[in-house]
Amino acid sequence: MTSFYIPRTSMRTKLGVRKRTGVNNSCLAGAGAFFSTPSDLARFGSAMVKPGLLKAETIALFQTPLRLESGASTDFALGWKVERVQLNGLPARMVAHRATPNGSTVALLLFPDQGVVVAAASNISPAEDVDASCRKIAAAFAEALPDR
């Protein structure tokens, strides 16, 4: 177990941090109660990219944004934010989950069409640039992959 840190003031880590005291997360199942590692998150993300552990139909369901009665997209699927971003100068579909639970920051970014998954975690909340760093890593891996 590591120590977690939160900002001293104004939710700005640049103004200094303090150690986060212990928290009982037992009532938060599904919303920050689980601890994991970036390696395990990347394995989980890989299962969400191609069929194997899950059927293709199940993966598609998890990655399809819900629609309002008006027909407008929410941009949120089942636990995932679905976005169009630039990856190496080209539009790419990104399916992501980010969180800042109790003195930590976590990002899990999937680029299903490129077959790229990136996970990162920090023991400070909120940690700046975790998402941007993940995107740079994804771009490097996507660039190195042969055309799909």
In the chain, the amino acid numbered 140 is A
Query: CA gyration radius for the chain?
Result: 17
**CA gap 45, 33 in Å, rounded:** 19
Q: Which residue has the higher pLDDT, 44 or 148?
A: 44
Whole-number pLDDT of residue 103: 74
- Reported confidence tier of residue 147, pLDDT bands at 50, 70, 90: low
The candidate with the shortest Cα–Cα distance to 100, out of 81, 67, 79, 127, is 127
Q: What is the pLDDT of residues 102-133, one digit of tens each?
A: 777 889 999 999 999 999 988 877 777 888 99
Model confidence at 135: pLDDT above 80: yes
Structure tokens at 108: 């899990």
Model confidence at 20: pLDDT above 80: no
Q: Which residue has the higher pLDDT, 144 or 142?
A: 142
Q: Mean pLDDT over all residues of the chain?
A: 84
Number of CB atoms found within 10 A of residue 57's CB: 9
Q: CB of 102 within 8 A of CB of 121?
A: no
Whole-number pLDDT of residue 104: 77
pTM confidence score: 0.80
